[in-house]
Structures are given as structure tokens and as C-alpha cells.
Amino acid sequence: MVPKFMMANGALVRVLIHTDVTKYLNFKVVDGSFVYNKGKIYKVPATDVEALKSPLMGLFEKRRARKFFIYVQDFEEDDPKSHEGLDLHKVTARELISKYGLEDDTIDFIGHALALYIDDKYLDEPAIDFVKRMKLYAESLARFNGGSPYIYPLYGLGELPQAFARLSAVYGGTYMLNKPQCKVEFDGSGKAIGVSSEGETAKCKKVVCDPSYLPDKVKKVGKVARAVCIMSHPIPDTNDSHSAQVILPQKQLGRKSDMYLFCCSYAHNVASKGKYIAFVTAEAETDKPEEELKPGIDLLGPVDEIFYDTFDRYVPTNNYELDNCFISTSYDATTHFESTVKDVLAMYSKITGKALDLSVDLSAASAATDQQ
């Protein structure tokens, strides 16, 4: 129920390949990646060729955007010739963009729908991360020649824990599902020593959990508003995409953060034949999800059934070196896994004391691109 797509060349896919979980999963490419601009939905242009075709920009802006995309495509961190005299570790994203004279609306979709930043803070940070994110998007898009850079498991995200459960079993791990009232047990010095449920305790040296298990070791940092919509048609203006993401940049809505539309359907085996499931999510800025999410819901056309939900977002406040508890941050409103995977990799490093090497053969994961 937390809808997120995976970037085809992104960190999560690398993690899945690294762990060999991909043999238990089947993916299908997401049909479309779109951005909202001045009341309309447009395909996100990600390459110099697409920039020239995009109705998002006027003629002169297209040419400027094309030059910028070519710079990004040709940029290689270890090849100074491709840097055009700019040190992207020092130059900010704002300075890099101003060199190409791009308009605010163009910057908006590049920063939010391509580089997937959730606000505009990145503009005053070193441009290297910005360029790398754009390259990741373009490389992921080219990977399967689909309409988007995203992939999604057939039968939905519930397949991920199932695949890891299978892999865990191969290595002798034990899964116990739906255990009631799990309580973390601590010794006199405050270190976690086990988890108890129904009168039994599983002993351990480290506990890895989400914030709900240790509410006194986390703090609330926000909340996410979400609408779940069941429809009998694709989102209008998305080229009849069976699966799609639409990003509504904050500026377009006069908000502090972006809004996201996520849609998938019977094509990914997550709904009955002819049905589409759309989610509208945003970091809640008010206590009225129905009103707040209206700009996104208005883009969906007729909806058969709609459900509203809000959930709090937490971050850990504990010192894992003292209590051996490793707590994840809550899911955010984004409809992709990029921010979540960062958190997972950081937890991995804390738990094991080493960084995970994600240089893997990406061809080990494949995805179906055919339209069903």
C-alpha cells in the first residue's frame, strides 16, 4: 500500500541483483513517466532527442534544453574533457543551469521529474549529484526502451518480501509472519537482547525494525496524505498507460513539496481485468487530505471508489551503538524507491560496519516491455 516504482538502473535493482533475489521476481516496465505543468500532463523528456519533441517548451527553450541534455549525457566524472571547465563538486546546480539559460518551468521538470528531488534545496548544492541523478534517469530509460525508466514487479511490491523470505530460507533463516505484540527485550545496560511474542523470546544481538516497534526511540517529522483510487480507465493524457507515474512539482501547485500520482493495473497483475489502481500521495501540509490532494485527484477522471488515509513519518533518534537497535525511517510520499534505498544502504553499513559494493552486472535483471 506504499506505492513505489524502481529505477531500472537504480540502487534497489542493484541490491536485488547483488543478493540474487531477482531469480524469484518478475518485472515489467512501467509504461509512462509524466510531469504536470500549468494544468496539463506531459511526458518527461529525458534526452536531447526528446527535448526537441517535447511540447513542454518553446522552440528556443528546446534548443537550450537540448544543449544541456547533451552536456549531461556526455559528462563522465573521470574524464575532465567532458566537464567543459566546470568542477561540479564546487559549482552549484543553479550555476550550472544558468550557464544554459533555462527557464523556471524547465528547471522545475528537470529537477523534480528527472533528477527526482523532492524540493528545491538541491539548486544551491554541488551540481555533481544533480547531474548523476539525471544520468541515472536517462540510462534507466534507455535500458528497456520502454516509455519510462521505471520497472515494477508483477503481482506488486508484496513480491519483494516474499522473494527475500525465500532467499532467507535457502540460507537457513526463519520467517514468522503476523506475530502479535512483538516486544524488544533489553538487558540492564539498555542493549537489545531479544524479541518476545506470545510468551516466547527469540534471542539476538541486533534488532532491525521499523519505527512502530520502538516508538520511544523515534520522533515524528511529518505525515503523508494518500488517496487510493480504483478506476476503470487509465489516467487521462498518459497515452493510455497501464502503469504510470506523474509528478506534480511543488511550484506548480503553490506547495512546499511535490505531489505524486502512481497508477498500475491488471497489466502488472495487481487488479482485476479492466481495473486500474491510482494513488495520489503528498507530504501533508494540512489536516485535510481530501482538499490537499484534490489537484492530483482532479487529473484522474471518473473514479469508481476512493479511500483517504494519512500516516505519520518517523526518523530514529536512538544511538545504535548503545542499544543495538537499527531503525528504518518511515516511507515518504515519493512514488519511487530512490530515497528509501539510501536509508536501507545506510542501515546496512551501520549493521555490518562496511559499505555494500553495488557494482553488479545489471543485465542479470530483465523486465518484460510488451503491452498486454
For 326-368, what is each residue's pLDDT tens digit?
A: 999 999 999 999 889 999 999 999 999 999 888 877 777 777 7
What is the arithmetic mean of pLDDT over 233-252?
96
For the chain, what percent of residues have pLDDT higher than 70?
A: 99
Maximum pairwise Cα distance, the chain:
70
* Residues in a beta bridge with 230: 277, 305
**More confident site: 147 or 41:** 41
Q: Is the pLDDT of residue 26 over 50?
A: yes
Q: Is the pLDDT of residue 31 over 70?
A: yes
Q: Which amino acid type is present at position 79? A: D
What is the per-residue burial (b if ≥16 Cβ within 10 Å, else e) of 67-94? ebbebbbebeeeeeeebeebebeebbbe
Asked whether 255 and 235 are in contact (CB, 8 A), the reply is no
Q: Is the pLDDT of residue 372 over 50?
A: no
Instruction: State the pairing for strand pair 6-7/150-153.
Output: antiparallel
H helices within 121-191, ranges in order? 127-144, 159-170
Running DSSP on this structure, what letter comes out for residue 78? T
Q: How far apart are CA 157 and CA 154, in angstroms?
A: 8
Q: How far apart are CA 288 and CA 308, in angstroms?
A: 10
What is the arithmetic mean of pLDDT over 46-69?
93
Of the given ranges (41-50, 288-297, 307-316), which has the lowest mean pLDDT?
41-50
What is the arithmetic mean of pLDDT over 139-148?
87
Q: How far apart are CA 101 and CA 299, in angstroms?
A: 31
Tally of CA atoms within 13 A in the half-sphere of 60 that contains its CB? 4
Asked whether 44 and 33 are in contact (CB, 8 A), the reply is yes
Cα 270 from chain centre = 19
Q: Taking each helix axis as running N to C, give the angle between helix 59-74 and helix 127-144, from 0 to 180 degrees, rounded to the nearest 10.
A: 90
Domain 1-31+150-175+206-353 in this protein, CATH class:
alpha beta
pLDDT of res. 370:
60
Q: Is the pLDDT of residue 263 over 50?
A: yes
Q: What confidence tens digit (pLDDT) does each residue in 84-128 have?
A: 999 999 999 999 999 999 999 999 999 999 999 988 999 999 999
Topology annotation, domain 41-145: Guanine Nucleotide Dissociation Inhibitor; domain 1 (1.10.405)
* Residues in a beta bridge with 5: 336
Read off the pLDDT band of 130 (50, 70, 90). Answer: very high
Mean pLDDT of the chain: 94
Read off the pLDDT band of 145 (50, 70, 90). Answer: confident
Phi and psi torsions of 248, nearest 5°? -110, 100
Question: What is the domain partition of the chain in residue ranges?
Answer: 1-31+150-175+206-353, 41-145
Q: How far apart are CA 91 and CA 71, in angstroms?
A: 15
